[in-house]
Structure 1
Amino acid sequence: MNGRKQFEPDELAQLAQRVCERAAGNEQIEVCVSTGRSTTVRAYNGEVESLRSGVTAAIGVRVVEDGRQGFASAGSLDPDVVSDTLAAARRNVAFGEPDPHQRLAEPDGVEPPGLDLSDPAILSVPDADKIAAAIDLERRCLDADPRISGVRVAAWSDGWSQSALASSTGICVQASAGCCSIGAQPLASDGDETQIGYAGDAARRPDQLDVDRVVTESTALATGQLGATKPPSERLPVVLAPSVAAAFIAVVTSVLAADSVLKGRSPFADRVGSQIADERLSLFDDPTDPATLGATNFDGEGLAARRNALITSGVLGGFLHNAYTARRSDTFSTGSAVRGTRSVPGVGTHAPVVNTGDIANEKLNASIGNGVLVRGVSGLHSGVNPTSGDFSVGAWGHRISGGELAEPFREATIASTLQRMLLGICGIGATAEPLAGGMSMPPLVVADVALSGV
């Protein structure tokens, strides 16, 4: 048995359990093991630019004793490496700070959703078909519009993983899952000006990839920015395109994670039960929906995945917790532990969902009269202060004049606070539009946002 062997899920679970059985004295041991394989193909000028494939194996071991935690990981499942990793985690316990809340997760009686996410379709796709998909994506982008002068990236990627987690507290779970994705970055040119677009999609099966949408969206973003100029600085309402709305919602959910709250990095720390958003908005994390790539049966500590309501009709219902933050907060885990095999569990969402509204998407521009449609942002995570909620990020898109799309703009910034943005939501699209990975998001309308340009 070595790090390159192809394991069956049951074998991984048995391996993890055997390591947990070595717990001695007051030790608690948790073991996460995984194997995977992946392929990435990039096309350029109708040919293969690169093709990379590989297999991986990994183990992560946590040892907790008397409130001290030690962790170690390795990139092999060779028996000697496994033993060395356990020994390293035990040694690292001595360097851990004692914490009365530091213990492993224990079974909580919640039943997992029982999702079958192990469709092996991507394992049967020949390399020749992956290459053809990347080359065809590039060709279709070039043919979509005469202004498309080239394609910086046209790529296919896929991956398949098997994992298991076991602990000496009685948890043992396993999973198999895979996905594939495509992405394109076409270039649009007009005279000396060149603009770039991007779109991608991901799915569990190759036949679920929406190539038409990727081509249409990526080329429209590139050509739509031709002739863009800096807009005048003013305060106005903005329509956030679904991908931009999703990016902002991801920032909001990050400060609704209990570890952020406990570290003093959330502007909503003391707002449970308060109105923090317009009543139109409800926000959930729903890993029980098999349509998303975030779907899962278990969280990063082996507890059952569950649907969690974060904001209901604008009211903050609570925070996301893993086992540690729940103990510190005198509450229960929400099954929101997230991790990689070679990292300790954090807290986060699996599949955030925003409710749809009552305004047809095509009528959102008319609903504000004059404003801007933000099609893309840059520097979002670095441009947000998680403590105060202030943000200022790069933005581009189109002006909205008289309820109709007008000239494009670029090299602008939009600024506000997360608190003001949530309370300023004044419209939500009636249709959630598909994004990469099965996630869907409606466009959002936010009042009174500062747009800075010239």
Structure 2
Amino acid sequence: MSGSAAAVAAGVPPAGADRGHRPGGGDGGAAAQATEAELLALCRRVRDQASPGEYVEVVAARNEGTSVKVHGGEVESLTASVTASLGIRVVVDGRAGFAHAGSLADDVVAETLAQARENVAFAEVDPFLTLATPDGVEVVAQPALRNNLVAAIAVDSKVDRALELERRTLDLDPRVTGVRVASYSDGWGSSALCSTNDIEVASSGSHCAAATQPLVVADGQTQIGVGWDATRDPELLDLAEIAADGVERATRLLGAVQPSSGRLPIMLEPRLAATLWGIVAGMLSGEAIVKGRSPFADRVGEVVAASGFTLLDDPTDPAGLGAEEFDGEGLACRRNVLIDGGTLSGYLHNSTTAHRMGVASNACAVRGSRSLPGAGAVALAMMPGSGTPEQLRAPLGEALLVNSFTGLHSGVNPTSGDFSVGGDGLMIRNGELAEPVRELTLASTIQRLMSGVIAIGGELERLPSGSSMPWVVIDDVSIGGS
């Protein structure tokens, strides 16, 4: 269950926030195990009420979290939340009824089950609809998910971290006239899933995040930057680095002008590579494929990208913030290669999309406890190549280092792959960063962008979104400017 980089930047809990620990003093692992046991017991009680001919799936979660936002040296908001959620799916003769609730109280649970049963009558028959069945794949244990380090942090310390981040941001550059908001947030919780198809699993997880938005004014221009990061271990949350990142992003576009139109290579840092290849992952979702809304339908085994391009979904990687033990239907997570050396290897499937296509689920069901399972990437990763960002940039005579994309929702056609979005960034001239540019359009197709990858950095960056990405250089992109 993944969040987004934008959510983190706004102080919202990122990927996996609904699978964390409850606070438990110095023994977060014991608290998580106790919560998992309670949730499993609840799910079993509901599942065991299944009538003959009914297939029942129950998901329950309990989450806690803290969010602190500061401005001008004062606390702007401080919230501590405790939430619970429940989702029940009932399947009868190919019809699915679903209901959810925000409480785990006995009367609410009973009412939710009754509502799910009632909703079966309103559903259309789907002959391919199925619940997951254990497939024998062993679970890759993720012990770090149960090390709830954020629970031991006092609230005063969380406030101090947000205030320190604001101070560091203001002190870095005299052109920083203020900070729109500086924030610290964390979350922890546990979830469980049981079904009449012999699925019984539980999982936990925690995170903490910090973000700053410096306001920079110089020569009559105003720019806002964003610096952010998220980790499982609060000691790894580097406030100095977050502040420096935000200020650098705000100052580097001062004096930006509109570039001349042309066709140039573009260079993407990991967070933008994650954005771009995340669009590709959406096109490789089993749901998009079975609905005919992807340019990659019926192309398994074909070359769809540059030879060095390998894209995978790997929630078994413990270093990534997207690490999980189970998918949204309770199957053990596994490493799925989607594009291998430029060749399309397969799609992201849940049980129903896999059944429709006559294949086995590869445990790519994604969901919240209040939603039905879709199919998508949990921890998207691109295999690294070699070289530092400076080494990747060195051979580029004229190119564009992209700072941001705008208009992605309207500028990308997920069915055809057409790509036309706004952006800004820094020109690269003879391998060196040059003048900042803005008010430009990047135009291509997703297919051409994948085929145009000419260099891939040698180091993966573990992103708050759960993705793991290197730097990427893509050749021959149309830049629309003056």
TM-score of the alignment, normalized to the shorter chain, above 0.5: yes
Task: Give the Cα separation in 1 of the matches to 2:284 and 2:415.
Answer: 12
Quote the residue 2:417 is aligned against: 389
Cα pair 2:214 2:247 within 8 Å, conserved:
yes
Task: Give the Cα separation in 2 of the matches to 1:440 and 1:209.
Answer: 17
Cα pair 1:357 1:430 within 8 Å, conserved:
yes
Quote the residue 1:108 is aligned against: 135
Shift in Å, 1:61: 0.2
Shift in Å, 1:437: 5.5
Q: Please say if 1:96 is aligned against 2:123.
A: yes
Q: Please say if 1:215 is aligned against 2:269.
A: no
Quote the residue 1:10 is aligned against: 37
Quote the residue 2:259 is aligned against: 231
Moved over 4 A (4+): none
| Residues 289-438 of structure 1 aligned to structure 2 (within 5 Å) | 289-436=317-464
Quote the residue 2:69 is aligned against: 42
Quote the residue 1:158 is aligned against: 186
Q: Please say if 1:199 is aligned against 2:237.
A: no
Shift in Å, 1:194: 0.7
Cα pair 1:265 1:386 within 8 Å, conserved:
yes
Shift in Å, 1:376: 1.3
Quote the residue 1:131 is aligned against: 159
Q: Which residue identity does 1:404 align to in structure 2?
A: E
Q: 1:68-98 CA distances to partner (integer Å, 9 max, x unpaired)?
A: 0000000001101000000000000001111
Task: Give the Cα separation in 1 of the matches to 2:366 and 2:462.
Answer: 24
Of residues 379-388 and 438-447 in structure 1, the stretch that sits farther from structure 2 once superposed is 438-447
Task: Give the Cα separation in 2 of the matches to 1:173 and 1:257.
Answer: 24
Task: Give the Cα separation in 2 of the matches to 1:313 and 1:415.
Answer: 25
**TM-score when scaled to structure 1?**
0.97
Cα pair 1:265 1:387 within 8 Å, conserved:
yes
Q: Please say if 1:267 is aligned against 2:295.
A: yes
Shift in Å, 1:368: 1.9
Task: Give the Cα separation in 1 of the matches to 2:130 and 2:302.
Answer: 31
Quote the residue 2:3 is aligned against: none
| Residues 433-452 of structure 1 aligned to structure 2 (within 5 Å) | 433-436=461-464, 439-452=467-480
What are structure 2's unaligned runs of at least 5 residues? Answer: 1-21, 23-30
Q: 1:400-439 CA distances to partner (integer Å, 9 max, x unpaired)?
A: 1122111001121211100000001111112223433664
Aligned residue among 26, 31, 36 for 2:58? 31
State the identity as a percent.
Answer: 49
Q: Which residue identity does 2:254 align to in structure 1?
A: L
Of residues 87-96 and 373-382 in structure 1, the stretch that sits farther from structure 2 once superposed is 373-382
Q: Give the 3-state SS of the residue equivalent to 2:165 in structure 1.
A: helix
Task: Give the Cα separation in 2 of the matches to 1:358 and 1:137.
Answer: 33
Structure 2 CA distance for partners of 1:238 and 1:409, relative to 1, 3 Å: same
Of residues 375-384 and 157-166 in structure 1, the stretch that sits farther from structure 2 once superposed is 375-384
Quote the residue 2:14 is aligned against: none
Task: Give the Cα separation in 2 of the matches to 1:415 and 1:359.
Answer: 27
Q: Which residue identity does 1:15 align to in structure 2?
A: L
Cα pair 1:321 1:336 within 8 Å, conserved:
yes
Task: Give the Cα separation in 1 of the matches to 2:358 and 2:246.
Answer: 47
Cα pair 1:251 1:381 within 8 Å, conserved:
no
Query: Could you say what the CA RMSD is over the residues aligned between the two structures, in angstroms?
Result: 1.5
Q: Give the 3-state SS of the residue equivalent to 2:410 in structure 1.
A: coil
Q: Give the 3-state SS of the residue equivalent to 1:381 in structure 2.
A: helix
Quote the residue 1:22 is aligned against: 49
Of residues 41-50 and 362-371 in structure 1, the stretch that sits farther from structure 2 once superposed is 362-371
Task: Give the Cα separation in 2 of the matches to 1:19 and 1:435.
Answer: 37
Task: Give the Cα separation in 1 of the matches to 2:265 and 2:205.
Answer: 42
Q: Give the 3-state SS of the residue equivalent to 1:201 in structure 2.
A: strand
Quote the residue 2:148 is aligned against: 120
Quote the residue 2:16 is aligned against: none
Task: Give the Cα separation in 2 of the matches to 1:352 and 1:240.
Answer: 16
Structure 2 CA distance for partners of 1:143 and 1:338, relative to 1, 3 Å: same
Q: Which residue identity does 2:384 align to in structure 1?
A: T
Which structure ranks higher in relative contact order (CA pairs < 8 Å, sequence separation ≥ 6)? 2
Structure 2 CA distance for partners of 1:326 and 1:440, relative to 1, 3 Å: closer
Cα pair 1:38 1:53 within 8 Å, conserved:
yes
Task: Give the Cα separation in 1 of the matches to 2:463 and 2:286.
Answer: 27
Q: Give the 3-state SS of the residue equivalent to 1:53 in structure 2.
A: strand
Task: Give the Cα separation in 1 of the matches to 2:374 and 2:467.
Answer: 22
Number of residue pairs aligned between Structure 1 and Structure 2:
451
What are structure 1's unaligned runs of at least 5 residues? Answer: none
Cα pair 2:320 2:463 within 8 Å, conserved:
no
Cα pair 1:292 1:437 within 8 Å, conserved:
no
Task: Give the Cα separation in 2 of the matches to 1:434 and 1:350.
Answer: 13
Structure 2 CA distance for partners of 1:437 and 1:236, relative to 1, 3 Å: closer
Structure 2 CA distance for partners of 1:241 and 1:372, relative to 1, 3 Å: same
Shift in Å, 1:213: 2.4
Task: Give the Cα separation in 1 of the matches to 2:455 and 2:471.
Answer: 8
Aligned residue among 284, 289, 313 for 1:285? 313
Q: Give the 3-state SS of the residue equivalent to 1:8 in structure 2.
A: helix
Q: 1:318-355 CA distances to partner (integer Å, 9 max, x unpaired)?
A: 10100000100000001100000000000111111111
Of residues 194-203 and 295-304 in structure 1, the stretch that sits farther from structure 2 once superposed is 194-203
